[in-house]
Structure 1
């Protein structure tokens, strides 16, 4: 039988209450004082009757980012089963994600389930689609920046550092040097479609003979996760957009196919689910909408507007 692994969980709300712990875990669990910098709290109304019954409260707290602030709480030491019980206790408004405590310890914490809603300073890294190619208004990233900054002119910032042609390998290599000056609390990675591309000489029937750029997706994303955590930033990964295959068979010497793009999407989604990282699916908003793709790959102005509406739902 496999022994239960120890887990650490930062708690700043009702999970600190020994009565709640006893109700969930059958015991009061070991805790130690802890502080989480760069965050503050806001009230969150609760409607789940079982959660209200366990805590005795219909308003809990949730975390949001605030440079210069800190939230005091405790680190709880939990077994596999107890961590699962804590997951079940938290309502759908929360998502368990990795954070870096003031002490330097990496631990779990329950954050706002909408990853962009709690952000202050967002850094976007990615490829030509994230850069906004084919949209004179700057693409979905520029629209996201405009709406986010308008929400709080004093504190909100968005830095789009995307570079056309980038692969996830490029992004994972280049990003560490870019973050310190921007002080991000959220790292939005919107790259990968170029990892799925094949040179025309290795078009679909020769894919097995070509080095597969998707084979090291987990390695590159893992590197980006470590980079984000080192800055106590939340990693958010946007998957590839829909591909109009009939119009991308000869794109600047590259071949993009729907099959390989879907394989990339599945690999990125699976990694995010396994690692408890936020995944934003940009495939569905443009599925079947070849009329919104300039060249079968890059969205036009309307296509970027559609993508922004999809992203905006994650920040409001």
Structure 2
């Protein structure tokens, strides 16, 4: 008989591999966990070689399975109801190749599942939303998003797609409002939210704080996460780029500062960590390299190449 969610076992975990093995369960949890059959649509599996000796000793296998996105695919498995301590034990057991993220089961129930720790490596259909930097402004070659699309689609022209829906000037408020209507015809499995520095900008004419985008960052991200969940899409947040404050000045009526950009970066990192959402720190690739920026804000062609080189390590 399946164990219902109780105060002591509040976590629902979808498993399709070794966590369903009674030997592994006894080793990790000290008990055999009752399970309920479940399925996960939009995924398939692929083998993953394990090198951690303790994990191999527990499971008896050096090849496990990991999830990969596939339109029309389904993975059969089961759900386990775990306590806080048991979920922590499962986290410890899963190697660094995995990350625990929320998924939407075929039943409509949400559950934890261990996905590929590199969020773009397992993607098939990627939607990118964001501002002018994600759009590719100042790069005749289309920026990092176009380079990502070329590589991603080239790897599997039959099943891979990249839709760049970024709009110059967009803030997270704009993106959270516009994105729900854009996703249905594109069947995304991965939603890349390029949270650029527009949310850190201060209008030079503003005399109050009601226009401060930083104060509403979490709310907009909550809305985008809910949108992604409805499509069973994995949300990936890209943080702001390093900027050269000495060159930003009055930029189209806006003021950009390093302090505000760092505050946005910290807010995004905190929200992603609290909500188990993937965060990719775009600050580092261009840090202290003003020659890779056109105007102190927008990368030039070489800057976009650096950003793509960084992102390619996650594909």
TM-score scaled by length of structure 2: 0.96
How many residues are treated as equivalent by the alignment?
309
Answer yes or no: is the 8 Å Cα contact 1:37–1:70 preserved in 2.
yes
**Matching residue within 56, 59, 63 for 1:55:** 59
Q: Does 1:217 align with 2:217?
A: yes
Aligned to 1:311: 311
**Matching residue within 140, 143, 146 for 1:142:** 146
* Alignment partners' CA distance in 2, 1:8 and 1:263: 34
Aligned to 2:122: 118
SS of the aligned residue for 2:191 comes to strand
TM-score scaled by length of structure 1: 0.96
Q: Does 1:15 align with 2:15?
A: no
Per-residue deviation, residues 211-230 of structure 1 (Å, max 9, x unmatched): 42111111111111110111
* Alignment partners' CA distance in 2, 1:209 and 1:66: 45
Aligned to 1:293: 293
Aligned to 1:253: 253
SS of the aligned residue for 1:295 comes to coil
Answer yes or no: is the 8 Å Cα contact 1:198–1:210 preserved in 2.
no
Aligned to 2:186: 182
Q: Does 1:172 align with 2:168?
A: no
Q: Does 1:106 align with 2:110?
A: yes
SS of the aligned residue for 1:201 comes to coil
Per-residue deviation, residues 193-234 of structure 1 (Å, max 9, x unmatched): 1110011235xxx7x756421111111111111101110100
* Alignment partners' CA distance in 1, 2:22 and 2:157: 41
Say if 1:210 and 1:67 are closer, same or farther in 2 by CA, change over 3 A.
closer
SS of the aligned residue for 1:270 comes to helix
SS of the aligned residue for 2:106 comes to coil
SS of the aligned residue for 2:264 comes to helix
Find runs of 4+ consecutive structure 1 residues off by over 3 angstroms: 208-211
CA RMSD of aligned residues (A): 1.1
SS of the aligned residue for 2:185 comes to helix
SS of the aligned residue for 1:91 comes to coil
**Matching residue within 154, 159, 170 for 1:155:** 159
Show the 5 A alignment for 1:83-102. Answer: 83-102=87-106
* Alignment partners' CA distance in 2, 1:192 and 1:132: 12
How far residue 31 of structure 1 moved from its aligned partner, in angstroms, is 1.1
Structure 2: tracts of 5 or more residues without a match: 1-6
